[in-house]
Chains A and B, each alone.
Chain A
């Protein structure tokens, strides 16, 4: 990095020199650097390296898009559904997602009730209250707690054999 002082000017940082090389500095600062570079071998060397790297990258392989690739792209674009159908599809997907979200609390409640019936007094864990689903869905920590309940019940269900199957039916 050129840090030496030449005459009255200090070498610009390499970041600034890089921007100067790109012609991205304007006004007085660009003039100052131009003046400095005229007498500074270190900065001249850096600018020369930047030029070499540009030539190197710019001389990369030809990047013409092959004709068959263009044809395949054109076919793909031509096959895209018409905008009206596309929007209809997006709208229907959104509607389906909304229905699922709306139905989820009830489905979970049914499933939970079904699972609760299989538990014995000896193995029963503390049960969430009637409003737990809404709370669990509403905040992240509740969500994690809810996940814990589900895992706990699944473990119990698999240990209880028939009970686990009935929970599975409850999900459906």
Chain B
């Protein structure tokens, strides 16, 4: 849409309202390439953050995001609106990340190395069983040590802040499975952190 036409629309209809995701998808499926690009701009950053947590490297995350939008473009005609566009895109991104991990499994990072990264980190908080992990931790490397299924739910919940119902929709699993998988993921993370604490002790 040109600026002139935008201005004309605003003049006629009042302030221009951004089209919804569903509207953009509908237009894109009808051949409006600009609408698909707008959809890309709207969701690229959040999908990149998700992909980065899942695959661990910036270059791989970029590839996952690109393949996600190519996959979405291919599937435009099949999108039925049963889930939100964002959920649909996240579902494609999760699949792409899983394929990426199969093709390029991340190198195993030794426990001792998890705290040696220069990346931003989480300081210890509070006196609990995890208190011994008293140093800066490379969160991405830590997540890479967790099993793929567990990492997916952890990332969706803890980083992306999704509800159980949303996670169930994205991963296409029952809500009860989300709860149990998340519990096991946290147990795995806790064990990992305790192992780290053991490694740190002199």
Contact = CB atoms under 8 A, between A and B. Distances in A.
A48 B193 CA distance: 14
A80 interface: yes
Contacts of B183: 14-15, 18-19
B140 interface: yes
B122 A73 contact: no
A82 B2 CA distance: 19
Nearest to A19: B179
A78 B37 contact: yes
Interface stretch (A29-37, A59-67, A160-168): A59-67
Contact of B36 (A15, A65, A77, A84): A77
Interface in B62-117: 62, 65-66, 69-70, 73-74, 76-77
Interface stretch (B5-13, B15-23, B27-35): B27-35
B170 interface: no
14 contacts: A22-B164, A24-B163, A48-B128, A49-B190, A53-B158, A58-B122, A63-B52, A63-B53, A72-B66, A74-B41, A77-B36, A80-B73, A82-B33, A83-B76
Instruction: Name the interface size band of chain B.
Output: 35 or more
B40 A74 contact: yes
A27 B36 CA distance: 42
A50 B187 CA distance: 10
A117 interface: no
A72 B126 contact: no
B182 interface: yes
A87 B52 CA distance: 32
Contacts of A77: 36-37, 40, 69, 73
Contacts of B182: 18-19, 22
Contacts of B30: 83
Nearest to B62: A69
Interface of B: 28-31, 33, 36-37, 40-41, 44-45, 48-49, 52-53, 58, 62, 65-66, 69-70, 73-74, 76-77, 119-126, 128-130, 137, 139-140, 142-143, 154, 157-159, 163-164, 179-180, 182-183, 186-187, 189-190, 193
B125 A55 contact: yes
A83 B28 contact: yes
A24 B168 CA distance: 13
A80 B182 CA distance: 37
A60 B44 CA distance: 19
Contacts of A82: 31, 33
Contact of A57 (B124, B154, B180): B154
Nearest to A70: B44
Given A61-B139, A72-B66, A51 B37 contact: no
B40 to A, nearest CB: 5
Looking at A22, A50, A57, A74, the one whose CB has the most chain B CB atoms below 10 A away is: A57
A18 B179 contact: yes
Looking at A45, A49, A58, A82, the one whose CB has the most chain B CB atoms below 10 A away is: A49
B120 A64 contact: no
A145 interface: no
A76 interface: yes
